[in-house]
Amino acid sequence: MKLQPKLWRRLTARFYHLRGMAHRHVGNRQGDVQEHCRAVQDFAQALRLNPQLIQARYDRGVLLWRELADGLQAQSDLDQVIALDPTRSETWFQRAFARQIAGDIDGAIADFQRYVANGEDATWQEISRQQIDNLRALQDDERKSGR
């Protein structure tokens, strides 16, 4: 049986995505930033092979902000996930943290508010409410101190 090139690309993309998840897992278990970087590379390869592989883009975005503190690149990935599937509410929650790390406090608050309104996980909704309160308090402190 000969696989069609399009199917082969999709299967190969899925392989790289899964391998990236394995690198991420090892990186988390061992605290190894190099494993996280390998995960980013594998996610990128998966996306080169199949740009519509939403889960790989989402997973890379989360890894970038959470494990590598790269809010700007994470936000870019998560923006693309939202463009491809705006009903995926967890993406708004994750992008809020990416925006917070990147210094976009107003954007983070807006994304947390969107998650509170549309999210499906009660715990994440409560975290979002707490983050909104914390970020607003931070903005108030900055205004009072003149920053």
Tens-level pLDDT at each residue, the chain (147 residues): 566 888 999 999 999 999 999 999 999 999 999 999 999 999 999 999 999 999 999 999 999 999 999 999 999 999 999 999 999 999 999 999 999 999 999 999 999 999 999 999 999 999 999 999 999 999 998 888 876
Q: Which domains does the chain have, with CATH numbers?
A: 5-145 (1.25.40.10)
User: What is the spatial distance between Cα 30 and Cα 57, in angstroms, rounded to a whole number?
Assistant: 23
Q: Does the predicted model carry a pTM greater than 0.95? A: no
